[in-house]
Amino acid sequence: MLTAPHAQTNLDLQRLSEHHRMMVRIRAFEEAALESLNEKLVLGAIHPSIGQEAIASGVCLNLEQDDVLLSTHRGHGHTLAKGADSLAMMRELFGRDGGNCGGKGGSMHIADFGVGMLGANGVVAANIAIAAGAAHAIKLKGERKVVCCIFGDGAINRGPFLEGLNWAKVFNLPVLFVCEDNGFAATTRTRTMTAGDGPSARARSMGIPAIEVDGNDVLAVDAATQELVAAIRAGGGPRFLHAHTYRLTGHTGADPALYRPKEEVEQRWLDDPIAQVEAMLRDAGREAEIGDARKAAQDEMQEAYRHAKETPFPAVEHALSDVQDIGDPRVEAF
Ligand SMILES: Cc1ncc(C[n+]2csc(CCOP(=O)(O)OP(=O)(O)O)c2C)c(N)n1
Ligand SMILES: [Mg+2]
């Protein structure tokens, strides 16, 4: 499903190749993460972003390293595209030493301030309010950074969506809000529980300019993000990107997704964003680099998997360092 014909200049092709490399890295990371569930290496859930890679790549490749990213429970792709190291991420998933958060955060709480990744978030929509706060701090400090906040279509029905967008608009803050609309909030089709005309309409109702794109078309996501980020950097205040996509796997690695007809999922595989990019690369005579990029991604993620599995757990004496102080757990209330 290509939304617009793209003039394939050399520049476009270079960019396309860059996206392809990133998207196959994300896919390979997610496949390895799913594989690790069989070996019980991840204690807890993971939320794969297979099928949604074009949004991670199309958005994040337009951010500078010190721009700030906030993500969701489905954040592996965003985090990789922002520049985090795959081995550190795999270690974090497995709860090992050397993970981005020392192995104490896990899949839904990866943060890596070194690459501007302020955090994934297991609380739906909570990142939207945090993004407004981060952007306010940036504005007060007079910095030029942009905050990018990615959230799902389910998140727009929670309070922090209203609070975050309102605050960002009122204070003209440098935030790009990205709604990754995969049509579902867990097992529920979001259109059955969303009033009005959806994410973009809600943003526009608060005076925030919005662009709606096919989120499986990486060049469309890239072009829209470029335009929106440029407006934000020029001091224009918040902007909104609404990107349509589909998650090709279950909600979590353990979800067989029986609430969706098999035919629907098969049909959506035909829109696989990676297959679309590869078709464009083939048309442009770049067949060879497809295999090279896929092999490099497989090697990288299998290596990360193997090293992470061999890495020890954090030492017991560090169990309480870098974690929130909740006081004495022996208080009467318990
Ligand atoms: C405040 C809150 N309510 C409920 C949940 C349980 N939950 C986890 S993911 C999810 C669905 C979120 O849907 P969406 O925002 O569209 O993101 P997607 O999973 O589709 O990427 C829900 C309800 C949660 N984590 N936080
Ligand atoms: Mg969703």
- The pLDDT value recorded for residue 5 is 44
Mean pLDDT of 244-249: 98
Lowest mean pLDDT across 26-35, 144-153, 265-274, 321-330: 321-330
| CA of residue 285 to ligand 1 center, whole Å | 41
Q: How far is the CA of 74 from the centre of ligand 1 (A)?
A: 9
Least confident of 97-106, 217-226, 324-333: 324-333
β partners of residue 175: 147
30, 47, 72, 73, best to mutate for ligand 1 pocket (most atoms within 8 Å of CB)? 73
- Closest Cα to residue 104, out of 162, 44, 38? 44
Mean pLDDT score, 295-316 = 97
Which residue, by CA, sits nearest to atom 17 of ligand 1?
152
Q: pLDDT tens-digit profile of 121-176?
A: 999 999 999 999 999 999 999 999 999 999 999 999 999 999 999 999 999 999 99
> How far, in Å, from the CA of 153 to the mean position of ligand 1?
9
Q: Cα–Cα distances in Å, from 202 out to 132, 191, 272? A: 17, 14, 28
* Mean pLDDT computed over every residue of the chain: 94
Cα 194 to ligand 1 centroid, rounded to whole Å: 14
| Ligand nearest to C-alpha 150 | 1
Q: Are 55 and 180 in contact (CB under 8 A)?
A: yes
Residue 321, pLDDT > 80, answer: yes
Average pLDDT over residues 48-76: 98
Identify the pLDDT of residue 51.
98
Ligand 1 centre from 126 Cα, in Å? Answer: 11
- CA of 187 relative to ligand 1 center, distance in Å: 10
Closest approach atom of ligand 1 to CA 155: 15
pLDDT of residue 318: 86
Nearest CA to ligand 1 atom 4: 124
Is it the case that residue 278 has pLDDT exceeding 50?
A: yes
Q: Which residues touch 158 (CB under 8 Å, ≥6 apart)?
A: 124, 125
Q: Which ligand is nearest to the CA of 125?
A: 1
pLDDT-derived band of residue 322, with 50, 70 and 90 as boundaries?
Answer: confident
Q: Give residues (CB < 6 A) around ligand 1.
A: 72-74, 122-124, 152-155, 182, 184-186, 251
| Residues 1-44 pLDDT 10s | 334 445 557 768 999 999 999 999 999 999 999 999 999 999 88
How many percent of the chain have pLDDT more than 90?
90
Q: Is 32 left (phi over 0), alpha (psi -120 to 50) or beta?
A: alpha
Beta-carbon-side half-sphere exposure of residue 109 (alpha carbons within 13 Å): 12
Whether the predicted pLDDT of 297 surpasses 70: yes
Which atom of ligand 1 is least distant from the CA of 126?
A: 1
Q: Which two tokens stand for residue 315?
A: 């030492």
Q: Is the pLDDT of residue 331 over 60?
A: no
What per-residue confidence (pLDDT) applies to 172?
Answer: 98
